Amino acid sequence: MFAVTRNASDGRKRARLFSRTGASLVRIIFSLLITFIGLLLVTFLIGRVLPIDPVLAAVGDHASEQVYQRVKEEMGLNLPLWQQFFVYISNVVQGDFGTSVLTSNPVLEDIKRVFPATLELATLATIIGVFLGVPAGVFAAINKGKWPDHIVRIIGLAGYSMPIFWLGLMGLLVFYLKLDWVAGPGRLDAFYVDFIEPTTGLMLIDTLIEGDMDLFWNAVSHIILPASILAYFSLAYIARMTRSFMLEQLSQEYILTARVKGISETRIIWRHALGNVMVPLVTVIALSYANLLEGSVLTEIIFAWPGLGLYITNSLLNADMNAVLGGTVVVGAVFIGVNMLSDVLYRLLDPRARR
């Protein structure tokens, strides 16, 4: 009788758990949907507010009035604004961002071609920033008020203060032009460009797949400087937040209890304190990664890096609004996705969030 009652109780608990999980999933999906529609609305309005005529960009300055009106009708710009918005949503959902005036290709194909370069650059920069920033933040926290703490804080302040374009130019001047330690702009030397067949679009991985180590090290030589420039800003942010989180944890009573019990200081810092810090730090790292994905425009321009930022910039300078809006939507969607992933990881790492 007791076993039957316990099984029934367990069944009710599982049912409540599944119900809560399902409700949470519905809320997440609804939130994502509303956020994405808001993103589409903002990009749509930007495309209509900017003083750029997409029809004129498509037909040129010398087109006749008849050609202008025909192209305007083909682009749907003669429709009421609300109707244009619903057409825009319908096209985006189908993956249709229109055709690029600059390349004459579908915008989605152009984005598929250039986005892996930005993804590779931002990912490597984030990895460098995490592996250097987290230990630096911990080191600063355990030496609060001492010279190591001051050094880390000065490095972080410099990372926030120096313009990225200036740092990129100085990096090229010193490490490429003067010292010749790294390769110049671009993803590969011009000699190697036609030697690689893109598989993933990630140059480091594609060169390893090809098994050509000369190509691989050439790609490393090209990416290491722009990735380090971006990583510096990621490092400054992550180190500052890690320091702040660690100082809060090191002042907690459980740290004092652990020390009274005789637990080694290394274990207290790197296992107990840092273990609790990693929960909010996941969100910090995810936001840093998303910021690098959307904020690498200046770095890509300086280093002639053929990524999404350079693509959007060139499209904007040539009044190619389909490409600009398509790239903006993709960046926004990535930002939403990374935020959702950080929220999921937060729930997995923190039992209190799961409850």
CA distances from 8 to 17, 21, 181, 235, 268 (A): 14, 20, 69, 52, 43
Contact 218, 186 (CB under 8 A): no
Q: pLDDT tens, 157-188?
A: 887 778 888 888 888 899 988 888 888 888 88
Contact 311, 327 (CB under 8 A): yes
Contact 222, 120 (CB under 8 A): no
Q: pLDDT tens, 42-51?
A: 877 877 776 6
CATH topology assigned to domain 107-354: MetI-like fold (1.10.3720)
Helix (H) or strand (E) holding 90: helix 81-93
Q: Is the dihedral of CA 140, 145, 148, 151 positive or negative?
A: positive
The pLDDT > 70 percentage for the chain reads: 87
Nearest Cα neighbor of 195 from 180, 214, 175 is 214
Distance CA 289, CA 327 (A): 17
Q: pLDDT tens, 62-79?
A: 777 777 778 777 777 777
Per-residue pLDDT of the chain (355 residues; tens, 9 = 90+): 445 455 555 556 666 655 666 666 677 777 778 887 887 888 778 777 766 667 776 676 677 777 777 877 777 777 777 788 888 888 888 888 888 878 888 888 999 888 999 999 999 999 999 999 999 999 998 888 888 888 888 888 887 778 888 888 888 899 988 888 888 888 888 777 777 777 788 888 888 888 878 888 988 999 999 999 989 988 988 999 999 999 888 888 888 888 888 888 888 888 888 888 888 888 888 888 888 877 677 888 888 888 888 888 888 887 788 888 888 888 888 888 887 777 777 777 665 555 5
Contact 115, 224 (CB under 8 A): no
Nearest Cα neighbor of 322 from 125, 87, 108 is 108
Provide the 3-class DSSP secondary structure of residue 202.
Answer: coil
pLDDT value for 2: 45
In the chain, list all ranges with CATH 1.10.3720.10.
107-354
DSSP code at position 176: I
Region class of 104: left (phi > 0), else alpha (psi between -120 and 50), else beta? left
DSSP string for residues in 22-80:
HHHHHHHHHHHHHHHHHHHHHHHHHHHHSS--HHHHHH-TT--HHHHHHHHHHTTTTS-
Q: 225 — phi, psi (to 5°)?
A: -75, -50
CB-based burial label for 84 (10 Å; 0-12, 13-18, 19+): middle
Distance CA 54, CA 71 (A): 10
Nearest Cα neighbor of 331 from 314, 315, 308 is 308
